[in-house]
Amino acid sequence: MRPTRSPRPSGTRAIAPTAASRRDRWENRSPRASPSADEGPTAAWRTCARRYDSRMTHVSESIDIGVPAETIYALFDDTQALPSLVSFVKSVEPAGDNLTHWVVEVAGVKREFDAKRVVAEAPVRSRWESATPGVDFSIEARTDATGPTSTRFSLDAEFDAGRAERLGLAKAVAGKLVSSELKKVKQQLEASHGA
């Protein structure tokens, strides 16, 4: 037996949300924030669901580098030095208490936003997330010592690629970009540290 629905009042009809109303809801949503411990598991689930939203492009690449983890962490911990390490980061400037102003450019698309460091676990992990409403971006650098003078370095980036994501192009292009950037970082670090 099928469940029955209550009939709509006569003369009314269901109205589907328009693309503009969905876009307005998306653009006016509250900025992503990590839940505090007292907000409970529901808040953590909402944050996780937002973080892995299907509209977001997530890229994760790793490389083994012949230098200690502390050396790599120290370089990526200095956000103002990031443009010299990673070419898609054009500039990072201090913008206030625990905030930095980032300018990034990927595939000719330039984005500017303020980012907040949300994780700083020396010498293992650093994570920055956009603090600008309407701009979805996060980047995380992780190190895992594989020996006394060797490290597996991982870079995760997550961003809203817009139309490129809907066309299925963003992940492939961004993956190649991050992979080539990690190879350049490896060459720079190993050359400067005699590995």
CA dist 119 and 121 (Å) reads 6
> Which CATH number describes the domain made up of 56-192?
3.30.530.20
Which of 42-46, 53-57, 85-89, 183-187 has maximum average pLDDT? 183-187
Name residue 120's beta-bridge partners: 126
Domain ranges of the chain: 56-192
Per residue in 101-124, pLDDT tens? 999 887 677 889 999 999 999 999
Which pLDDT does position 110 carry in this prediction?
86
Which pLDDT does position 10 carry in this prediction?
56
For residue 123, whether the previous peptide bond is cis, meaning omega lies within 30 degrees of 0, is yes
Which pLDDT does position 16 carry in this prediction?
52
- If phi > 0 it is left, if psi is from -120 to 50 it is alpha, else beta; for residue 155 that is beta
Which pLDDT does position 36 carry in this prediction?
47
First-residue to last-residue Cα distance in the chain: 72
Which pLDDT does position 163 carry in this prediction?
63
The Cβ of residue 22 has, within 10 Å, a number of other Cβ atoms equal to 11
- pLDDT confidence of 177, banded at 50, 70, 90? confident
Which pLDDT does position 193 carry in this prediction?
80
**Who wins on pLDDT, 83 or 161?**
83
Break the chain down into helix, strand, coil percent, rounded to 5. 35, 35, 30
**Do residues 133 and 31 lie in contact, with contact meaning Cβ atoms separated by under 8 Å?**
yes
Which pLDDT does position 45 carry in this prediction?
46
